[in-house]
């Protein structure tokens, strides 16, 4: 039996790794699976695990208020070493580009343990955008011994960096597995939908819902000021309501609360559990975000996305026309959002439902590849 340790630490990693962990656990004769949470996030991570009913076998519990990148790196590196003393896996699976990913992969390398990288090969080509994620994923590429690329584009990025093509596999993105599973759970539970309708009864059905999320470090400072001022201007329209589940990073909350705290038509709310956020995405008219995962989910729900970044490592949806890059620039953000609100043909062109990121079977492909790896 192959011993597999599935590692994650933040909200998006959990969303994208739960389907992988569950799939591997269902191969009872092939894998012995354990789950390790670094606890880089706490409340935002626990929400995901609770909804999908997955428990961690190891929890490094490293989160501390407003800690630095070096704090996170050191704690993960040391904490993983302790886990490997207790249970030595044959392979460690990490997902994406957070500091948990980079440090856990390095810790595995130090023990000469194989590393599988899920969502491998995303690149913007700019080491400071997103920061530090672009560097984290480049380091993860060097440490990985098998790469699960979500798309052909990401596979080609790896081949361009001279990664052995024999260890790069296109699987689709596991976020679509998570999305389909969550939609199935929600749609089969009328009580859940009803409780969400009650929870969000403050929404005015006569107004268009603009859903906002944001947390990128390269936008801290001036970027977030521009974003908040843009939201304030957009919300000054009577036909619009803004809902903004605020990321828990204090560098996000401060400007958001200061600029939007008492703005009309703006609802600042706590981070939502995954089904509640999906409910909001489905109710929304458009989405304004700098999130990676949301750029992948929204096209499959047919929602136009205005991305508040200068670069994206997810060009597939931009090419398909459902995502536009506005930068963290007030004028540009307002320009795109107002066009989507007022120009029906522009809106129709951007709101087509497409699935460039997967078919919901990425976790199954990953499990089969690991099983046949020998
Ligand atoms: C992290 C990842 C980023 C990922 C994002 C997803 C790094 C360096 N950054 O950014 O790549 O896109 O998660 O959301 O790996 N906090 C809480 N409770 C939580 C989570 C965060 O209070 O559940 C607060 C704490 O004060 C914490 C701070 O937010 O110190 C920053 O958290 P951290 O994980 O370092 O970075 P994020 O900005 O969340
Ligand atoms: N999400 C959530 N609740 C929220 C906001 C986002 O469950 O209040 C989900 C969203 O659907 C997506 C993921 O969290 O799957 C994105 O996480 P985040 O934006 O924190 O990180 P990124 O994807 O940018 O790394």
Buried (b) or exposed (e) across 64-84, using 16+ Cβ within 10 A? eeeeeeeebbebbbebbeebb
Q: What is the DSSP string of 95-148?
A: ESSSHHHHHHHHHHHHTT-EEEEETTT---S-TTSSTTHHHHHHHHHHH-SEEE
Q: How confident is the model at residue 79 (pLDDT cuts 50, 70, 90)?
A: very high
Long-range contacts of 10-13 (CB under 8 A, 24+ apart): 10/40, 10/41, 10/44, 10/45, 10/98, 10/100, 11/41, 11/44, 11/45, 11/47, 11/48, 11/271, 12/96, 12/98, 12/175, 12/291, 12/292, 12/293, 13/94, 13/95, 13/96, 13/98, 13/100, 13/101
pLDDT of residue 374: 67
Residue 113: is its pLDDT beyond 90?
yes
Write down the pLDDT at residue 143. 98
Average pLDDT over all residues of the chain: 97
289-302 tens-digit pLDDT: 999 999 999 999 99
* Rounded CA separation 91/108 (Å): 8
Residue in the structure block whose two tokens are 């509640």: 276
Active-site position among 13, 114, 119, 310: 119
The DSSP element (H or E) to which 7 belongs, if any, is strand 2-8
Cβ atoms 149, 121 nearer than 8 A: yes
pLDDT, mean of residues 177-196: 95
Q: Helix, strand or coil for residue 212?
A: strand
- Sheet architecture: strand order including 208-213: 266-269, 240-245, 208-213, 286-289, 305-307, 323-325
CA distance 122 to 155: 8
User: Which of 8, 9, 11, 131 gets mutated to test ligand 2 (max ligand atoms within 8 A of its CB)?
Assistant: 11
Does 350 score more than 90 pLDDT? yes
For residues 87 and 34, the answer to whether their CB atoms sit within 8 Å is yes
pTM over 0.75: yes
Distance CA 260, CA 198 (A): 24
Which residues have a Cβ under 8 Å from the Cβ of 44 and sit 6 or more positions away?
10, 11, 247, 248, 271
pLDDT (average), residues 78-101? 98
Query: What percentage of the chain has pLDDT greater than the value 70?
Result: 100
Q: How far is the CA of 301 from the centre of ligand 2 (A)?
A: 15
Q: Does residue 147 have an active-site annotation? A: no
Closest C-alpha among 37, 22, 40 to residue 83 = 37
Residue 332 has pLDDT above 70, yes or no: yes
The pLDDT of 69-92, averaged and rounded, is: 98
Which residue's CA is the closest to the ligand 1 atom numbered 3? 98
pLDDT band at 235; cut points 50, 70, 90: very high
For residue 339, name the pLDDT band (cuts at 50, 70, 90).
Answer: very high
Atom of ligand 2 nearest to the CA of 290: 24
H or E stretch at 252: helix 250-260
The answer to whether the beta carbons of residues 119 and 16 sit under 8 Å apart is yes
pLDDT digit string, tens, across residues 30-75:
999 999 999 999 999 999 999 999 999 999 999 999 999 999 999 9
Confidence class of residue 353 from pLDDT cuts 50, 70 and 90? confident
Best probe residue, ligand 1, of 8, 10, 273 (max atoms within 8 Å of C-beta): 10
Single out the catalytic residue among 11, 41, 117, 133: 133
């Amino acid at each position: 039996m192959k011993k597999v340790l599935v590692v994650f630490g933040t909200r998006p990693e959990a969303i994208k790794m739960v389907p992988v962990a569950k799939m591997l656990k269902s191969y009872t004769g092939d894998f012995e699976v354990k789950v390790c949470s670094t606890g880089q996030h706490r409340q935002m991570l626990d929400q995901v695990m609770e909804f999908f009913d997955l428990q961690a076998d190891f929890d490094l519990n490293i989160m501390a208020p407003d800690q630095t990148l070096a704090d996170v790196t050191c704690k993960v590196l040391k904490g993983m070493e302790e886990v490997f003393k207790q249970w030595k896996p044959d392979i460690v699976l990490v997902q994406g580009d957070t500091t948990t990913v980079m440090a856990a992969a390095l810790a595995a390398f130090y023990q000469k343990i194989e590393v599988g990288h899920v969502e491998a090969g995303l690149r913007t080509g700019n080491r400071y955008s997103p920061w530090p994620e672009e560097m984290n994923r480049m380091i993860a590429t060097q440490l990985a011994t098998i790469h699960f690329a979500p798309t052909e584009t990401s596979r080609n990025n790896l081949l361009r960096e001279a990664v052995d093509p024999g260890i790069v596999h296109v699987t689709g993105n596991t976020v679509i597995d998570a999305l389909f599973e969550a939609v199935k759970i929600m749609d089969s539970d009328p009580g859940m939908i009803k409780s969400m309708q009650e929870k969000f009864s403050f929404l005015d059905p006569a107004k268009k819902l603009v859903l906002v999320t944001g947390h990128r470090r390269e936008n801290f400072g001036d970027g977030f000021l521009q974003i908040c001022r843009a939201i304030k201007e957009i919300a000054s329209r009577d036909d619009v309501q803004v809902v903004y589940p605020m990321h828990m990073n204090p560098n996000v909350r401060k400007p958001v609360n200061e600029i939007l705290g008492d703005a009309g038509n703006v609802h600042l709310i706590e981070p939502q559990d995954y089904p509640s956020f999906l409910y909001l995405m489905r109710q929304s008219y458009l989405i304004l975000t700098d999130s990676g995962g949301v750029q992948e989910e929204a096209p499959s729900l047919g929602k136009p996305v205005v991305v508040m970044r200068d670069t994206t490592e997810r060009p597939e949806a931009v090419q398909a026309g459902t995502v536009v890059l506005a930068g963290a620039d007030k004028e540009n953000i307002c320009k795109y959002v107002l066009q989507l609100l007022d120009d029906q043909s522009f809106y129709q062109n951007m709101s087509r439902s497409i699935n460039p990121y997967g078919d919901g079977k990425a976790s199954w492909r990953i499990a089969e590849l690991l099983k046949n790896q020998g």
